[in-house]
Amino acid sequence: MPAILERARPGKRTDAIKLGIVNNMPDGALLSTARQFLNVVEAAAPDLRVYVSLYSLPGLSRSDAGERHLKDNAYQDFADLTATGLDAVIVTGTEPKASDLREEPYWHALTQLFDWLDHDGPTAAFSCLASHAAVLHYDGIERVRLPKKRFGMFDHHTNGHDELTLALPGSFRVAHSRWNEVPADALGAHGYRILTESADAGVELFVKQRRNLMLFFQGHPEYDTHTLGREYLRDVRRYLTGARDAYPEVPRNYFNATEKELLDRFRARAAKERHEELMNQFPVLANRFPMKSTVASSMYGAWLSGIAAAKRMQAVTATSDRTALPGAGYGT
């Protein structure tokens, strides 16, 4: 894990932030997802002191290797999450198995988390499927199945003025990897504010002020350079093994023209020679369009800076209240 777990422990600074990351990803993506978010936090808050702890929810299918990973990397359970006094929580998505999220085996645990955040917990940021699950639970907003997977890098813009998006450029790209979306009109009807969106990919970041501010990401600004490529490779393998029926689409705006030509040739061959051993001849590719971390670090940085500022204000207020008490002055 990045060194932030070791060095960013809260000391006497009143703006030190305790951040919990609830990592719901499958075993194979646990490590990379944690690293992505930790790298974003480190880039987002270079001047802040952030203590990050990792959590896992029950109900998620784990192999023995996955359980060992959780233990070796000091993952804590839901009871620890609610008792730690966190200042902020990030909830990752996971790979959906059921068409109705309420039929997922982890749904009960996830809604327990949502209820705690809404009633007693801190501000939270939700990623992809976690965003869909949260708005379904809070406001009954159903996700809509897309005609095909929304997969690749898409151009986005900001809507209006908000501190969370103030430092973003006029146009920027964000990764998407999903089969479903929540409609913009349904979000607006339930009081959500859309802060970033795309003509091709729809809503990205949207927020709602409940008891605390909640952030919802449909895309993946936290993705590193190689994540979309790894997902594409995984889906090609699934096609060759028969785990999926259709050959996956190439992620948009990710590979260059030469690479796409090689991938098209491999696809044609895969249609005729559908067996897993063919993966040994998959083209060697290099993503020549590395993703910029500035988009994710800008939004998460604004969020964390706001939390730190509120903590400093609370500390000043508390100090002022103590000094105003009778007998709390000189010579007592």
Q: What percent of the chain has pLDDT over 90?
A: 80
Q: What is the structure's pLDDT at 318?
A: 64
pLDDT at residue 133 greater than cutoff 50: yes
**3-state secondary structure labels for all residues of 62-102:** CCHHHHHHHHHCCCECHHHHHHCCCCEEEECCCCCCCCCHH
Same domain, 237 and 93: no
Within-domain flag for 134: yes
Q: Are residues 125 and 265 in the same domain?
A: no
| Amino acid 1: pLDDT | 44
Q: Is 220 a catalytic residue?
A: yes
pLDDT band of 293, cuts 50, 70, 90: low
- Please say if the pLDDT value at position 319 is more than 50: yes
Same domain, 20 and 119: yes
**Out of 11-15, 157-161, 247-251, least confident range:** 11-15
Work out the percent of the chain whose per-residue pLDDT is above 70: 89
Nearest to 175 by CA among 200, 142, 141: 200
Of 281, 306, 326, the residue at which a domain comes to its end is: 281
Q: What is the 3-state secondary structure (H, E, C) of the chain?
A: CCCHHHHCCCCCCCCCEEEEEECCCCHHHHHHHHHHHHHHHHHHCCCCCEEEEEECCCCCCCCHHHHHHHHHCCCECHHHHHHCCCCEEEECCCCCCCCCHHHCCCHHHHHHHHHHHHHCCCEEEEECHHHHHHHHHHHCCCCEEEEEEEEEEEEEEECCCCCCCCCCCCCEEEEEEEEEECCHHHHHHCCCEECEEECCCEECEEEEECCCEEEEECCECCCCCCHHHHHHHHHHHHHHHCCCCCCCCCCECCCCHHHHHHHHHHHHHHHHCCCHHHHHHCCCCCCCCCCCCHHHHHHHHHHHHHHHHHHHHHHHHHHHHHHCCCCCCCCC
For the packed helices 227-241 and 257-272, what is the interaxial angle rounded to 10 degrees? 10
Both 72 and 180 in one domain: the answer is yes
Residues 164 and 277 in one domain: no
When pLDDT is averaged across residues 8-30 and rounded to a whole number, the result is 82
- Write down the pLDDT at residue 322: 55
Q: Per the domain annotation, does 327 fall within a domain?
A: no
For the chain, the domain total comes to 2
Mean of pLDDT values over 104-120: 96
- pLDDT at position 332 is 25
- Shared domain check, 234 and 213: no
- The whole-number average pLDDT for the span 223-232 is 92
> 20-32 burial, b for 16+ CB within 10 Å, e for fewer?
bbbbbbebebbee
**Which is the catalytic residue, given 42, 181, 222, 231?**
222
| Beta strands 144-158 and 172-181, pairing class | antiparallel
> Is 128 annotated in the active site?
yes
What's residue 329's pLDDT?
35
Average pLDDT over the chain, rounded to whole?
90
Q: Which domain holds residue 211?
A: 4-224+291-316
Same domain, 178 and 237: no
Domain assignment present for residue 144? The answer is yes
In a domain, 324, yes or no: no
CATH number for the domain that contains residue 187: 3.40.50.880
Catalytic residue among 197, 220, 231, 259: 220
Pair 219, 295 in one domain: yes
In a domain, 196, yes or no: yes
User: Quick check: is 286 in a domain?
Assistant: no
Work out the average pLDDT over 296-300: 95
Q: Is residue 90 included in any domain, yes or no?
A: yes
Residues 258, 220 share a domain: no
Q: Tell me, what's the pLDDT at 8?
A: 42
Query: Residue 231 above 70 pLDDT?
Result: yes
Which pLDDT belongs to residue 7?
Answer: 39
Do residues 270 and 174 share a domain? no
Q: Which of 42, 104, 128, 231 is catalytic?
A: 128
101-110, 178-187, 309-318: least confident range: 309-318
Two tokens, residue 104: 């997922």
Within this chain, do residues 125 and 234 fall inside the same structural domain, yes or no? no
Phi, psi values for residue 67, rounded to 5°: -65, -40
In a domain, 322, yes or no: no
Are residues 271 and 182 part of one domain?
Answer: no
Please, which residues bridge with residue 156 across strands? 172
Look at residue 320 in the predicted model and tell me its pLDDT.
Answer: 62
Active site residue 132: no
